[in-house]
Structure 1
Amino acid sequence: METIRLPASVVTELRKRVEKEGITLEDYVLERLLADVDPPSRAEAYAEAALDLLRAAEEELRAGDLRQASEKIWGAAALAVKAYAYWRDGVRLASHGELWRYKDKIAAELGDWVHDAWAQANAMHINFYEGWATEISVELALHRVRQLVFEIVQKIGVAPADK
């Protein structure tokens, strides 16, 4: 994962746009950078970004920042679902509702456990804002979402650097 430094005014504007669209910063940047890229390549980029967010979530959890770990867990799940949609159907999922509906398609193909992983990811999205989850809850969510991301990454054909 690469770190980029931006002026505070640019970061403020990015945060406003991301909040308004209800997506992660990673998703926002990927959509703009990959606007002219074919769906299979987008799928790979989203899958790789999901893996990066999982690694970042693990680091945040080790550092004790449960809110940041939670948001990265959510982001990893959302990007993995988007990756699957690009890979399987060549479609862009642009809202939380579309993510929820598409998750059902993934569950029909990969198994009902996907519903649990998705529920855990959404609990982490809530925890980012509310801060109620315990460390054990965040660890459990990370475990479930890791399975979702790795299954999707394997299906798409992107090799994770490490498990």
Structure 2
Amino acid sequence: MLTTDHAQTAQGFLADSDREFDAGDTLQASEKLWGAAAHAIMAVAQQRGLEYGTHRTLINSARQIAEAQDDDLLQSEMRVGILAAQHFHSNFYNGTMEPEDIEYDRPLVHRFVALMLALLN
């Protein structure tokens, strides 16, 4: 996939996750939210020549991208977004997130995706 394809997929998965949450399918919505974050990371990582082929390299690249930001608050926001996205990935398999955690973490992942996509040239 091209960088633009990853960016479009991320945006599409965000919209899909919102529809799934609204329909009450938290498991599918959780995986779509994780997918949105993952594709946003892939887009930026691809553009910067970073690895992203495995879960570990994807997360490591996301951390590198966050740490490269000059603004400490932005770095923190991005790292929190990465963690929130991983919670949703885990929730897809285990269904262990509480409704209040889902409501709290969803905007964190939306923000993370927006921040990542804003880094694209």
Aligned to 1:109: 68
1:49 pairs with 2:13 = no
Task: Write out aligned runs for 1:1-163 (5 A).
Answer: 34=1, 42-89=2-49, 91-110=50-69, 111-157=75-121
1:109 is displaced (CA, Å) by: 2.7
SS at match of 1:62: helix
Q: Tell me, which stretches of 5 or more residues in structure 1 are unaligned?
A: 1-33, 35-41, 158-163
Higher relative contact order (CA 8 A, sep 6+): 2
Q: Tell me, which stretches of 5 or more residues in structure 2 are unaligned?
A: 70-74
Mapped partners of 1:57, 1:65: distance in 2: 9
SS at match of 1:132: coil
1:136 is displaced (CA, Å) by: 2.5
1:92 is displaced (CA, Å) by: 4.8
CA contact (8 A) 2:17 2:28 kept: yes
Q: Name the larger-Rg structure.
A: 1
Mapped partners of 1:83, 1:134: distance in 2: 30
Task: Compute the TM-score of the two structures, normalised by the length of structure 1.
Answer: 0.66
SS at match of 2:119: helix
For residues 56-76 of structure 1, what are the alpha-carbon distances to aligned partners after superposition, in whole Å with 9 as ceiling and x for unaligned? 000011111111111011111
Mapped partners of 1:63, 1:79: distance in 2: 23
CA RMSD of aligned residues (A): 1.4
CA contact (8 A) 1:73 1:124 kept: yes
Identity of aligned residues (%): 29
SS at match of 1:112: helix
Structure with greater helix percent: 2
1:126 is displaced (CA, Å) by: 0.8
CA contact (8 A) 1:66 1:135 kept: no
Provide the aligned length of Structure 1 versus Structure 2: 116
